[in-house]
Structure 1
Amino acid sequence: MKDYKAGIYLRLSKEDSEVNNSIDFQREITTKYAKEHNYTIVKEYVDNGYSGILSSRPELDKMIMDIVRNKINMVIVKDTSRLTRDKNLTSYYTDILFPDNDIRFISVTEYIDTGERYEIDDVVALRGIVNQCYVEDISKKIKAVKRNFKEQGKFIEGSVAYGYKKDINDPYKLVIDEEVENIIKFIYKSYLDGKMPKQIAQELNNDKIITPSNYLGHKNIGKEWTSSMINRILKSPIYAGNMVLNKYVSNLKLKKMKKTKVGDYEILKDTHPAIISQEDFDQVQKIKSGRIKNEKRTYYYLLKDLPVCMHCGRKMTYKSYHPMIIDKAGNIKGKPDEKAYFICEQHNRNKEVCNVYNKIKEKDLNAIVLQKLSQRLRYLQLHQYAKDVKALKDRQNTELSGIKKIKNEISRLESNFKVLYSKKVEGIITEKEFREKYNAYNEKVTKLKDKVDRYENSKQSYDVRNDVEKLIIEFESCKHFDNAILKKLVEKIEINKNNTINIMFKI
């Protein structure tokens, strides 16, 4: 008989409330099983307070390292949901990690024991799907409870906005913090009087008013008032007595939170005492939306950053009386300047660095560069090659469209399986009916996944194409070059005093 060195893995998340999932209960049931079967427990791994959907947990990571280092060759758990609630990770552990490292896996309450064999039956995969459904269901329920609390006007966030504090007698109720109430009012009044956030921040700093983070006890954070602090206060609906229902959108399954944009806030009005009247708050928002920052000018010209002086090696400066600009939307405004030119300004600044007066018109340089680049491409015979690559990409895009439909079909089948499994659990269908339908489902999903795998393998041959091929396709589809394409084809353009040029190509 093989000498087994067992590791027992125990996990309890914050959401688990059942007694039979407690760490002590898990320890009791797994150690009892090990003793009854004469397995030696060499190590215990406990992750307390970690969700089963997380792929990385402190003790789980240690256990995997011990598996790889051959310190244990058996893993015992109460059930597979203790190991993970992610169906993909369930498959990874039971189909790859454990067999590859000669690990015997035992789930006590589910009567799963891989024994000496490495083939895991369908039950483990089914458990993985069911466990993931559990996490998704819990996530929805928690969101619904939180939403219900907020719609009742109850404050359930951990931290309280500057200017408020929680009621001593009711932790779900906000009351005004009278110690800093006047500072909030001062900020709003100053802004309505025409002062800018930077000016308001400076006045507060001059008056030695401590910042919100320092007032709330956060050390070494925000020691001085800034315009961003003022703007946050000016934009927050909480000061008008309103609560934001969706300030953060959480995903319990992924343990992530995403902040909602101010314009997408769902507001519940009059949930707590207001420091600022609704009229003043609305007026502030109106003023803020009407103030448009000066557009930063981004100048556009074809050979930007490429021309250098052949004599000193410095970049040449672009000069134009009415240059074209790029607006925030990325649109180019203006017309080409016929008198624009490039010049090496080092000649005027320091003749020891550059003793040659070097200047060339932009339109002349553009014409020379485009001509030489076209000759270079013809020399490399890449035009026809570009068409071949484009044909490959078109075919790949067609296949990708089909693969998306296949993936959608797989998702639909998995959803149907969840319903099927629920019917089996509830006794609506028999075990035999469930097994027959599951076999049909499994066969169909396997075939669809094979198609996806074949596509992924063939896609790798397309992805091997280097940047030059992509650039040539881009060039073929453009009526004119642009600066972005040129920078990928050209390293630099050296210019001599007699307007002869030397182009350093990247291709």
Structure 2
Amino acid sequence: MNQPNYNTALYMRLSRDDEGYGDSISIETQRTILRKFAQDNQLRIYDEYIDDGWSGTNFERPNFKRMMADIESGKVNCVVTKDLSRFGREHIMMDYYLEFVFPEKRVRYIAVAENEDTEKGLSDFVPFKNLFNEWFAKDTSRKVKNSLAAKFEAGERVSAYAPLGYKKHPDVKNKLVIDEKTSWIIRRIYTLAFYGAGAAKITRTLTQEKIPTPGWLNYQRDGTFANIYRDAPEEKRYAWTIAQVKSILKDETYIGNTIHYRETNISYKNKKRIRKPQSEWMRVEGTQEAIISKEDFERVQQ
């Protein structure tokens, strides 16, 4: 009997928490395994779908959604992943796709490393594997939170970018030092506020004086926000907003403090950020050298 024609999606996923496990689950390793499996089993590869940096508990991943759209339109009728956890780490959603969506759409699903194949019938252990994968995600989330809390209490500053006026310490990890090339902008903003200028007036002044925004400076230094600033008109470099100015004027970073836990995820499954009450914030003083004195900062707050 001839094998049905399968237009196959090779789906790969890697979360930030997975990166500590090395090359064994890297995107390149997943790709090598999936391509070889497709070749060995005469599966026509329709496309590759890669979500790099996305949690398995989140099914709103961009390339996962693109793959499902291709399934809906009939372009794909087979999905192959390295293992069940690459597809997802939430047992209810896994059951939904494997037991309802894929059978209804007549889509074959294969988890290569676990030898699970809906065409042959999934094993009775799949629900338990999915439960374990979800537990693993929850346990990893707990460990990451505990690790971050320890770093915060030790005065470390864990962030992707240094705030305007600072740069990352060249030798000490998670430490800020004053950036003399940009700290003058912070002093200028606070001086204007100290002498009575409101946020709107300060914003106009910064724009008129062609003082570059934090976003433009990050783009110049690290190449970030290229989608905003590449090929943009010159005035975009100086397009300050009132919200930016207000944020700087309220930021205790500039008196040497770091505030943690202003926001948090709803849960390890739901990554939507919610604002926490001030009573739950963690304030760590003296994490970096101050640019603004506490007296001037308090005067500006008043």
Could you tell me the TM-score, scaled by structure 1's length? 0.48
Measure how far apart 1:61 and its partner are.
4.1
Q: Does 1:242 align with 2:268?
A: no
Q: Which residue of 2 aligns with 1:142?
A: 144
**1:432-464: CA deviations, max 9, x gaps?**
xxxxxxxxxxxxxxxxxxxxxxxxxxxxxxxxx
2:14 corresponds in structure 1 to: 13
What does 1:37-52 align with in structure 2 at a 5 Å threshold?
Answer: 39-43=41-45, 45-49=48-52, 50-52=54-56
Higher RCO (C-alpha under 8 Å, 6+ residues apart)? 2
Within 5 Å, which residues of 2 pair with 1:281-430?
281-285=297-301, 287=302
- CA separation of 1:114/1:283 partners in 2, compared to 1, >3 Å: closer, same or farther? same
Say how many residue pairs are matched. Answer: 282
Among 85, 90, 104, the alignment partner of 2:89 is 85
Cα deviation code 1:252-290 (max 9, x no counterpart): 6434434556675421001110112223323433x1xxx
Identity across matched positions, percent: 30
Alpha-carbon shift at residue 93 of structure 1 (Å): 1.7
Q: Secondary structure at the match of 1:147?
A: helix
Aligned residues of 1:243 and 1:271 also touching (Cα < 8 A): yes
Q: How does 1:92-491 map to 2 (within 5 A)?
A: 92-115=96-119, 122-205=124-207, 207-217=209-219, 219=229, 221=236, 223-225=238-240, 227-250=242-265, 253-260=269-276, 265-285=281-301, 287=302
Which secondary structure state, in structure 2, belongs to the residue aligned with residue 273 of structure 1?
coil
Quick one: distance in 2 between partners of 1:227 and 1:35? 57
Q: Could you say if the C-alpha distance between residues 168 and 33 of structure 1 is closer, same or farther in structure 2, counting changes exceeding 3 Å? A: closer
The one-letter amino acid of 2:50's match is D
Extract unaligned runs of 5+ from structure 2.
Answer: 220-224, 230-234
Structure 1 letter corresponding to 2:248: I
Partners of 2:70 and 2:82 in 1: CA distance: 20
- What is the SS of the residue equivalent to 2:264? strand
Amino acid at match of 1:52: G
Larger CA deviation: 134-143 vs 62-71: 62-71
Partner-residue secondary structure (3-state), 1:137: helix
| C-alpha deviation, 1:103, in angstroms | 3.5
Aligned-partner Cα distance in 1 for 2:108–2:208: 69
How has the CA–CA distance of structure 1 residues 168 and 57 changed in structure 2, closer, same or farther, with 3 Å as cutoff? same
How far the C-alpha of 1:138 sits from its partner, in A, is 1.9
Shift of 1:92: 1.5
Root-mean-square deviation (Å): 3.4
Deviations 1:287-323 (A, max 9, x none): 1xxxxxxxxxxxxxxxxxxxxxxxxxxxxxxxxxxxx
Could you tell me which runs of 5 or more consecutive residues in structure 1 were left unpaired when the two chains were aligned. 288-507
Task: Work out the CA distance in 1 between the residues paired with 2:32 and 2:213.
Answer: 52
Q: Look at both structures and tell me which one has the larger radius of gyration over its CA atoms.
A: 1
**Corresponding residue SS for 2:177:** strand
